[in-house]
Structure 1
Amino acid sequence: MRGFLVVLYTALALGANPALADATAAAALREGDMRKLAFHESPQPVPQAALVDLAEAPRSLDEWQGQWVVLNFWATWCAPCRHEMPALDRLAALMADEGVAVVTVATGRNPVPGIERFFDEIGMQNLPALRDPKSELARAMGVLGLPVTVILNPEGQEVARLIGDAEWDSANAQAVLRALTAGPEM
């Protein structure tokens, strides 16, 4: 009887909270690099911060409201960041039609010519090049080292975080993201 009550309680809890059900399903799929992906118990607010693009035009994460966002904090001088960036670019192409946007934010001192050169060297075609020149967003979100990638739900809240680099275009990463975007089973 006790086992039945645990199953019943879990089913009711997940059914009452679709976002938690999505995260639970996605978390169950983590393998490989995705084992480092830590899901929050509940979505966390993301602070507003002024970002700019390479032409110094103001940008905001609000531009991606309504989509799932893979938000990557990186820097030109960060070797693991440089290693994972091509996988993020491929992920952006693979999941663009599935409601997932990949957004990169160069945080701290990253000269525009260095960002442009790096994007050209590795043939970036699918990623926006945003900057957080004073690390305001990174600090407000508790980004202490690089790279850090956070997953934002369509409401713009952080639901998961991965510290370190990962193969974001792997089959496992895609399965985790598809579980999130699929929503709860009916």
Structure 2
Amino acid sequence: MNCFKRGTVFAALFFSFILLITVLIRLPAVAADQKETVPAVAAPDFQLQDLNGTTVTLSQFKGQRPVLLYFWATWCHFCLAARPAVIELRKAIAQDDIEILAINVGSGDSLAKVKRFEEADPAPYTVLYDPDSKVTHSYRVEGIPHFVLLDKTGAIKYEGNRLPSDPMKLLK
């Protein structure tokens, strides 16, 4: 009987430990997903090159249209799972209404690898490469995918690990 109680206590402690670890692992992702910036804060400007070598700056879109930044990597399974939704967003909302900039975080990816990835499955939006992750760090990206929605003035309206279901609603 004593051995049975010990086994039951051990099993209860083991499952409690597993539950605690699971909650602690998921908590940052849930909290990050619910980050909305109010009041709006100005987004840091940046200058990166697209996969053709053309320089793109965030400030070139200021006053023109809202911008969705999508931080990602080729090795990130969650980023690749989010990709179809970003593509659908591009198809649903005209480029004149929102600019989508997919920023490869650079870490773990080379420019050549990103180019090969995009050649195999081209994205209908601009893909930028952040070779030293400076832009990624300036946006305090802690996990990917990471989305930052900016209004026409360049103010951050949303940031999180999930694509907002209705980004245009957040911009109103």
Cα deviation 1:30-86 (Å, max 9, x = unaligned): xxx9x9343211111211222111133321112322211111011111111111112
AA matched with 1:117: R
AA matched with 1:77: W
User: Quick one: distance in 2 between partners of 1:98 and 1:57?
Assistant: 20
Cα deviation 1:150-176 (Å, max 9, x = unaligned): 10010111111112x44x6xxxx1xx3
Cα distance, 1:53–1:123 mapped onto 2, change above 3 Å: closer
User: Quick one: distance in 1 between partners of 2:76 and 2:39?
Assistant: 30
Partner of 1:81: 79
User: Quick one: distance in 1 between partners of 2:33 and 2:65?
Assistant: 23
Cα deviation 1:89-147 (Å, max 9, x = unaligned): 221121016612221111124223322232233342x1111111111111111111211
Partner of 1:48: 45
Does the CA contact (< 8 Å) of 1:70 and 1:101 recur in 2? Answer: yes
User: Quick one: distance in 1 between partners of 2:159 and 2:71?
Assistant: 11
Count matched residues. Answer: 140
Segments of 5+ residues of structure 1 without an aligned counterpart are: 1-32
Is residue 154 of structure 1 aligned with residue 144 of structure 2? Answer: no
Partner of 2:65: 67
What's the TM-score once normalised by structure 1's chain length?
A: 0.66
Partner of 1:29: none
Does the CA contact (< 8 Å) of 1:91 and 1:102 recur in 2? Answer: no
Greater CA radius of gyration, 1 or 2? 2
User: Quick one: distance in 2 between partners of 1:102 and 1:89?
Assistant: 10
Is residue 38 of structure 1 aligned with residue 28 of structure 2? Answer: no
Which stretches of structure 1, 4 residues or more, deviate above 3 A after TM superposition?
120-123
Segments of 5+ residues of structure 2 without an aligned counterpart are: 1-29
User: Quick one: distance in 2 between partners of 1:49 and 1:101?
Assistant: 15
Is residue 136 of structure 1 aligned with residue 138 of structure 2? Answer: no
Partner of 1:113: 112
Does the CA contact (< 8 Å) of 1:54 and 1:130 recur in 2? Answer: yes
User: Quick one: distance in 2 between partners of 1:82 and 1:115?
Assistant: 13
What pairs up with 1:10-49 in 2 under 5 angstroms? Answer: 36-49=33-46
Q: CA-atom RMSD, angstroms?
A: 2.3
Partner of 2:55: 58
Does the CA contact (< 8 Å) of 2:49 and 2:129 recur in 1? Answer: yes
Structure 1 residue matching 2:116: 3-state secondary structure: helix
